[in-house]
């Protein structure tokens, strides 16, 4: 009798656990998808529908707001600047972060744990505290209001993630694979390029995606350090404050969708990164 009661209680506990899990996943999906859905509806609706209530559940596919915003003076230039800054940030964060992650994974040296802690502490300083010194330094060096100068700031924000992600990736690759390549005549560089790099390439791609998204969504440094060469986020912050509601939705849609499309296109590399890091 006691065993039967225990089995029933265990089954009820597992059933309750599944319901909690399903509910948590459902709430998380709703938290992410519902705002995106209403953003899509309001972007593809006429201005009259956007300002009406209740909202329709099916978009009207009215492209008037998007067309007007796309033809707004300076928008295409800001979009080009965002792409250039995000691309430079991806390249520089991987070029700097991947060797650091490899060194943390493969070598033992004094202060290794302190170095990892300092990498994390770089995100402990709020960017507004550094805005004035950065602005003064950039003006003195001629990097103010330039795409490259803003990419340097965004790279600083992305490097901690690049280092820690690549560290986890390299730690997931057994050292014995490199040692076997060494015994077959490979140098450390050729062993890395022919054995390790093909295995972690999906993870490197995923790390680059994080750097792209960080740069694409960053607004404070872009608004402070640029005037003429603003990125899309700074451009929206400057121009949409007093704009009509339907144009604000169009601006939000143009800002959100490229990052979502980019992540969706390379989602398999994200899944591959998780598989490598968990080995």
- Classify each residue of 52-87 as buried b or exposed e, where b means 16 or more C-beta atoms within 10 Å of its C-beta: eeeeeeeeeebeebbeebeebeebeebbebbbbbbb
Nearest to 232 by CA among 208, 256, 265: 256
Q: What is the pLDDT of residue 277?
A: 46
Local confidence band at 7 (pLDDT 50, 70, 90 cut-offs): low
- pLDDT at residue 272 greater than cutoff 60: no
Domain chopping of the chain, boundaries: 2-64, 74-277
Reported as a single tens digit per residue, the pLDDT across 13-67 is 777 778 888 888 889 888 888 888 888 887 887 777 777 777 677 777 777 777 7
Dihedral in degrees, nearest 10, Cα atoms 142, 145, 146, 150 = 110
Q: Output 252-261 pairs: Cβ under 8 A, ≥24 positions apart.
A: 252/39, 252/43, 253/39, 253/40, 253/43, 253/66, 254/66, 254/69, 254/70, 254/75, 254/79, 255/217, 256/36, 256/39, 258/216, 259/212, 259/213, 259/216, 259/217, 260/36
Q: How many residues does the chain have?
A: 279
Reported as a single tens digit per residue, the pLDDT across 110-157 is 877 888 788 877 777 777 777 778 888 888 888 888 889 889 989 988
Reported as a single tens digit per residue, the pLDDT across 84-102 is 999 999 999 999 988 888 8
- pLDDT at residue 264 greater than cutoff 60: yes
Q: Output the average pLDDT for the chain.
A: 79
Token pair of 99, please?
């060797």
CATH number of 74-277: 1.10.3720.10
The answer to whether residues 278 and 172 touch, using CB atoms and an 8 Å cutoff, is yes
User: By percentage, how much of the chain surpasses pLDDT 70?
Assistant: 89
């Amino acid at each position: 009798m006691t065993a039967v009661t225990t089995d029933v209680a265990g089954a009820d506990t597992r059933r309750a656990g599944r319901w909690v899990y399903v509910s948590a996943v459902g709430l998380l999906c709703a938290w992410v998808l519902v705002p995106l859905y209403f953003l899509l509806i309001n972007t593809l609706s006429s201005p009259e529908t956007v300002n009406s209530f209740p909202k329709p559940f099916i978009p009207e596919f009215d492209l008037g707001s998007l067309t007007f915003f796309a033809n707004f003076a300076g928008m295409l230039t800001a979009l080009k600047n965002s792409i250039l800054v995000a691309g430079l940030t991806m390249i520089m964060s991987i070029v700097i972060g991947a060797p650091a992650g490899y060194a943390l994974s493969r070598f033992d040296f004094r202060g290794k744990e302190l170095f990892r802690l300092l990498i994390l502490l770089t995100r402990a300083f709020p960017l507004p505290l550094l805005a004035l010194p950065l602005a003064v330094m950039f003006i003195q060096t001629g990097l103010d209001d330039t795409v490259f100068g803003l990419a340097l700031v965004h790279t600083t924000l992305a490097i901690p993630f690049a280092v820690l992600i690549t560290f986890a990736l390299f730690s997931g690759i057994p050292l014995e694979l490199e040692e076997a390549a060494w015994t077959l005549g490979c140098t450390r560089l050729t062993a890395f390029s022919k054995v390790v790099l093909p295995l972690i390439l999906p993870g490197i791609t995923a790390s680059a995606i994080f750097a792209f998204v960080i740069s694409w969504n960053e607004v404070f440094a872009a608004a402070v350090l640029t005037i003429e060469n603003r990125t899309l986020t700074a451009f929206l912050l400057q121009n949409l404050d007093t704009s009509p509601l339907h144009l604000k939705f169009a601006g939000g849609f143009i800002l959100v969708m490229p990052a979502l499309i980019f992540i969706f296109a390379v989602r398999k590399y994200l899944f591959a990164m998780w598989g490598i890091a968990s080995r």
